[in-house]
Amino acid sequence: MMKKVRYNNAESTALLALLAAFAAVLSYVETLIPFNIWIPGVKLGLANIAIVVVIYFYGIREGFIVNIVRILLVGFLFGNMFSISFSVVGALVSLLAMSLSKKTELFTVIGVSVTGAVAHNMGQMLVSAIVVDSYSIIYYIPVLIIAGIIMGVVIGIVSSLIIKYTNIMFKTRNQ
Amino acid sequence: MKATNKKKIRNDMILIMFLCIVAAVIGFVLYGADIPDDELQLQILIDGEIVEVYKYTSDESTYKQFVMDSGNIVVLQAGEVYMESADCPDGLCIMQGKISKPGESIICLPHKLVVRLIKTSDNVHKDLDDKENMTSTSGLDVMPR
């Protein structure tokens, strides 16, 4: 039985920082993998492995914060203001979707991850369409949905494995 | 707990299938019929405004280059449209490859530039409306800044 950890003690802080670092490294690893889909902002989303883990061990708020931290970190190290703001939008949308689907308790980790991935892609696409001020991007919707499903499943599987095997590590000792 | 888990997995499948169906439906609607060439238009938009319009042709001998102020160079060659070069930071527009069918597009986000192939008859688009209604009230030229 997984126990929720309060986030205002030293151990939680350290573990969350660890997960944030994990997310950042995953983001970096992602840049090493040649993955080209034509729409800016659409990526493998490997960092979500960490984010999903955070959501399940701690909660949506913590997931949100860790994601922001990760984005800022990666953005300042490897990216630019442009990419940071894009990532933020994708993260917000995907976190919102994941929190909704997790709350319903209807889906497994994989289902939640798929919702997050598809939502992320849709969000990125919407922003791209607004920035570029054209409806042309709409033609990519089907591709993005499928890509979101595939990546969501993969990320979900990895996340669920991590959650299962590191459960001990995150169990609180001070309750 | 186990029963709930099985249900969750089943729900996952339903979710995924639902999304697949949505994608397929949208796909059918968008990628629909093949359009004969002479009805296709090559358009280049910057920030939502049409700055270039060219009659698309799949003629093998065609070579037309559009050099944009933004530093992007769009080429129509032998029926394929692609971004030959660009000085945007990510270069994604070049990697988007070649387009040749209606609806396909190449997008350079940093320059807010869109290259697209559109059916000439399909002009119920807000961008075109802007151009047709272009009066001096906006004070803006159609040309890129």
Shortest Cα–Cα distance, B26 to chain A (Å): 6
**pLDDT, greater one: B70 or B120:** B70
Confidence class of residue B126 from pLDDT cuts 50, 70 and 90? Answer: very low
Residues B59-86 have pLDDT tens digits of: 777 788 888 888 888 888 888 888 888 8
Highest mean pLDDT among A63-77, B54-68, B99-113: A63-77
List the single residue in B with minimal CA-CA distance to A141. Answer: B23
E strand or H helix at B116: strand B113-119
> B-contacting residues of A 44-73, CB under 8 Å?
none
Classify strands B105-108 and B98-99 as parallel, antiparallel or unpaired. unpaired
- Mutant choice from B9, B19, B115 vs A, greatest count of A C-beta within 10 A: B19
In this model, does residue B52 exceed pLDDT 60? yes
Taking the alpha carbons of A80, A86, A92, A98 in that order, is the dihedral positive or negative?
negative
Going by pLDDT thresholds of 50, 70 and 90, the confidence category of residue A47 is very high
Cα(B115)–Cα(A68) distance, rounded to whole angstroms?
A: 33
Query: Average pLDDT of A72-98?
Result: 85
CB contact under 8 A, B11 and A106: yes
- In this structure, are residues A116 and A48 in contact, taking their beta carbons and an 8 Å threshold? yes
0.95 exceeded by the pTM? no
Q: Is A149 on the interface with B (CB under 8 A)?
A: yes
CA R_g for chain A: 16
- Judging contacts by C-beta atoms under 8 Å, the chain B residues touching residue A40 are 90, 92, 107, 109
B49, B60, B58: which is closest to B102 by C-alpha? B58
Of the listed ranges A105-109, A120-124, B92-96, the least confidently predicted one is: B92-96
ipTM of the complex: 0.82
Residues of A in contact with B142 (CB under 8 A): none
